Structure 1
C-alpha cells in the first residue's frame, strides 16, 4: 500500500491518520516528502505537528520568505524554527527557500482532494437516488476499529 502525502495532510483526526498506515511509515513519508525533520514520537504529536504546520506555514509565508532573503542561512533557520516549530536541514538559502516553498505547496494541495470530493459526491448521489425509490439511507458516522471490537467483544 502506497501512502500519499495528500492523504496524510488531509486527515481530520488521529483515527483517520492511523488508518493510512503504521506510525513509522507515515512519519518517514511525511519527512521525506516535505524535506524536513518533524521531531515527533507519537501519533498525537504527529497529528498536532501536521495540523500546526498547515496553519503556520501559509500564515507566515511572506515573513519567512523575507527572513530567508535578508538573513544568513543559520540565522534564518533559527528564526523559522521559532515561527513554525520545524527544523530544515539545508546548507544554503536557495535550498532553504525551495524547501519552504515545497512545504507551502504541499499544504495548498491538501486543501482540495479530488478523490475525496468524488467519494462524497458518489455517496450523496446514492442517498438521493435511494430516497427516490423510497429507501431512506441515514448517514452513518465512521466508527473506529476499537469501538466496533468493544461493542461485539464477549
Structure 2
C-alpha cells in the first residue's frame, strides 16, 4: 500500500481492531502515523497499535486537562514523566517548546479539532497567561475550566484588595 492511501486514514473512524487492519499493512501504517506525529509510538503489533490509538483518543477527548497540567510543569523532566504516565508514550524533547510542539502534533493527528482561528488564539493566549503568571508567583490551575482571563484576574485582584 502506498503512502497516498494512508492520507485517507481517519483515526476518528477507528473503533475496532478490524477497522484498523482494513487500513492496510501494519508497518507502513505505523510508519505513516509516527512520521505524522514526529516520534515513535513504541508499539509492536496490531493490538498494541490499536490500544495506543484508543488510549490517546480517550485522554485527549476526556482528560485533556491532565495533558495541560503535565505541560504546565516547570521542569521538562517532570512534564515528560507525567506525560509518559498519562499517555504511555516516551516522548523525547530538547526543551519545553519542543515538547509542546510534539504534543500539539499528536493532538492534531488524533483529534480532528474543529476550533476556529479565534478559539485557537484564545487557547494559546490563556496558556501563555498561565505560564507567564508563574513568573509572578501566581499559580493558576489549568483545570480552571472555561473561566475567562478576566474572571481569573478578578479572583486575584479580590485577594489583593481584600
Q: TM class, shorter-chain normalised? A: 0.5 to 0.7
1:63 equivalenced with 2:66 (yes/no): yes
Whole-angstrom CA distance in 2 between matches of 1:110 and 1:61: 13
Give the 3-state SS of the residue equivalent to 1:40 in structure 2.
coil
RMSD value, Cα: 2.2
Aligned to 2:28: 25
Give the conservation status (yes or no) of the 8 Å contact 2:9–2:23. Answer: no
Shift in alpha-carbon separation, 1:57–1:87, aligned structure 2, 3 A: farther
Give the counterpart of 1:99 among 87, 99, 102.
102
Residues matched between the structures, number: 111
- Following TM superposition, the consecutive aligned residue runs of length 4 or more in structure 1 with deviations greater than 6 angstroms are none
Q: Which runs of 5+ in 1 are unaligned?
A: 112-154
Give the conservation status (yes or no) of the 8 Å contact 2:60–2:111. Answer: no
Shift in alpha-carbon separation, 1:9–1:35, aligned structure 2, 3 A: farther
1:16 equivalenced with 2:46 (yes/no): no
Residue 6 of structure 1 and its aligned partner are, at CA, apart by 4.3
**TM-score, normalised by the number of residues in structure 1:** 0.62
Give the conservation status (yes or no) of the 8 Å contact 1:6–1:109. Answer: no
Residue 43 of structure 1 and its aligned partner are, at CA, apart by 0.6
Residue 68 of structure 1 and its aligned partner are, at CA, apart by 2.1
Larger Rg: 1
**TM-score, normalised by the number of residues in structure 2:** 0.60
Instruction: Give a deviation string over 1:3-29, Cα, whole Å, max 9, x none.
Output: 127424522212221121111111111
Whole-angstrom CA distance in 2 between matches of 1:47 and 1:8: 10
